[in-house]
Chain A
């Protein structure tokens, strides 16, 4: 059973471009969480999704950021018109249910130049 897979591991984008981050949860996991981490800081909750549904997006900026978890395929975190302040590590975690152990992916390090 492969772990949570995130790709790409590193992503460089110029200001104004779009960034698409992918997360394939562990097999059998239907709950996905996205977190953002700045260097030497904690993890900030962004969004919680179940298959085809956004359950809680209270941590997502209202503009430029969106997330989806389609019936088939990975969860996608999309950042449009990236700015330097979007540079961070973005972690995805999956779990088989609510309030259970969450398994984190290796993260995507986004650098906006």
Chain B
């Protein structure tokens, strides 16, 4: 079945450093979404990417969708303590409607 892997599993950074998490799917995706989950909280939608090679920015966050639509990345510039949490990608393949979540990257930001 479809698998979505994320690396790294954990990342500790000093406040102000950059952070990147990578998402890789075993199958070509129709679109991909990114979510953030704070410790003890629930996933919160960040963004959706649909087009091959698409790049979207939200303030310090930059999201990319690979040309082959099998991978994606989230880059955070100059991390802040409020960025702490687990970042999940979630992809859907054509012909289906269920989003398969990646394994997540847990980010810790040291002040």
Contacts and interface: CB of A to CB of B under 8 A. Distances in A.
A25 interface: no
A33 B43 CA distance: 13
Nearest to A109: B40
A69 interface: no
Q: How large is the interface on A (under 10, 10 to 19, 20 to 34, 35 or more residues)?
A: 20 to 34
A103 B45 contact: yes
A99 B97 contact: yes
B98 A58 contact: yes
A77 B45 CA distance: 23
Nearest to B31: A99
B52 interface: no
B82 to A, nearest CB: 19
Contacts of A1: none
A101 B41 CA distance: 18
Contacts of A35: 101
Contact of A48 (B31, B41, B97): B97
A42 B98 contact: no
Contacts of B102: 42
Contacts of B92: 99
A106 B103 contact: no
Interface of B: 30-31, 33, 35, 41-45, 48, 88, 90, 92, 96-104, 106
Given A33-B99, A93-B43, 19 more contacts: A35-B101, A42-B88, A42-B103, A43-B43, A43-B90, A44-B101, A45-B98, A45-B99, A45-B100, A45-B101, A48-B98, A58-B98, A91-B42, A99-B30, A99-B92, A99-B97, A101-B45, A104-B44, A106-B42
12 contacts: A33-B98, A33-B99, A42-B102, A42-B104, A43-B101, A56-B97, A56-B98, A59-B98, A99-B30, A99-B31, A99-B48, A104-B43
